Amino acid sequence: MGTIMTRKKKDGSQSFTAVIRKKQKGKVVLTLTETFQNQRSAQRWMKQRERELNAPNGLERVMAKTANKTWSDAIEDYIGAAREKFGKTKSANLTYLQRLDFGKLAVEETTDHDFFKLAQDLLRGVQACPSDKEKDCPEHYALKPRLPQTVQSYMATLSAVVTYGGTSSKVEMPIGEFHKAIASLKHHKLVKRSEKRTRRPTVEEMNRLLSHFHANYTADQRRVPMHKIVGAAITLAHRQADLCKLKWNDVDEGAMKLTLRDMKSPKGSAGNDKELWVTDEGMKIIQSMPHRKDRVFPYHSDTVSRLFTQACEILGIEDLRFHDLRHDAISRFFEMDLEGGTRDKILKFTGHTPDGSLSRYINIEHKSDKYKNWEWWPILFASL
């Protein structure tokens, strides 16, 4: 009988990986793995595989079938070899690629056309089988076209597996075939890098958003106080995930500083803790939050994103994302000459490295404080 390993994800949910290993003369000759969202599905899969293996000549048939390692196998090996957890986007891309038909292809037999077709299918909107097998239905596979930028994200993730996954998988990666496909995809403009965003909310849009969120919270205080989180975003200049995991123990009110744990970084987020300065407005919003839990803003970042997107749709505010509030905050820091308005000083608030991507967030519109004497400050500073 195999084993089931339980893994806790960053969002607190669990995944269940079923593993079956078969030995001959003391040597492992077959390893089968599959990951599920619930334990029942993992147990069901394991029983089905065990029945296949225990049938006459079952082990030989399965071994013949798995002789050529697939991309799904290679990706699983790549994930297992990593010392640190991958970021949310990369993790989601990897598991999605596993569930596509592409994941069933033998790695060493993959051609440039196979890679090219993968990108075409992604662009066309082909859907992978659902991670929860119980949700598998014809409606799930309706085409949902993707942007070239989204396809680029998937191919960039796959590039890491192609480049570095050969050793962990013990296979010869088709690196040359992959590079030929990428060159062709770029030529045909089927993949495209994300463009720098310059979108910032206007004061009028912010007024409408805060009116909406404040009214919702006033009507039912069990709801997420989104007006506070939006206020924190434009005064602290941090990502929604960082805001939602900020702990009271990491706030130094006297020194006007806070510590962000595991900040996102190209070199990896694990252990990347940074002590940062806090604006007067940002600290007032932090102090206005109740000390009921260990986190200042004890809400899930996905919930915050969803509520913000829904509000923009309801209010008819187009092309505005929660992350644009960080862009607005950093640009405003320069516009209002925060701590003299020098780059080195602003870095102490945002957490960027001197050679980092701060410049992509700067889009100065005018040399003044757009929120000076703002009508919403008293409400944002008031205790919940």
Residues 169 and 284 in one domain: no
CA distance 237 to 222: 26
Residues 32 and 98 in one domain: no
379 pLDDT band (50/70/90 cuts)?
Answer: very high
Residues 227 and 158 in one domain: no
User: What is the extent of the structural domain holding 1?
Assistant: 1-66
Residues 272 and 298 in one domain: yes
Residues 305 and 264 in one domain: yes
DSSP codes joined into one string, 28-88: EEEEEEEEESSHHHHHHHHHHHHHHHHSTTHHHHHHHHTSS-BHHHHHHHHHHH-SSPPPH
- Residue range 182-222, pLDDT digits in tens: 999 999 999 998 777 889 999 999 999 999 999 999 999 99
Number of domain units in the chain: 3
CA distance 17 to 3: 8
Quick one: which of 198, 207, 197 has its CA closest to 370?
A: 207
* CATH number assigned to the domain comprising residue 271: 1.10.443.10
State yes or no: pLDDT of 68 exceeds 80: no
Residues 265 and 298 in one domain: yes
Q: Contact at 8 Å (CB) between 93 and 128?
A: no
Q: Which of 147, 171, 195 is the last residue of a domain?
A: 195
Residues 252 and 269 in one domain: yes
Residues 166 and 303 in one domain: no
Residues 161 and 210 in one domain: no
- Predicted confidence at residue 34, as pLDDT, reads 77
Q: Which of 195, 230, 250 is the last residue of a domain?
A: 195
Residues 209 and 347 in one domain: yes
User: What backbone phi and psi angles, to 5 degrees, belong to 34?
Assistant: -155, 140
The pTM assigned to this predicted structure is: 0.64
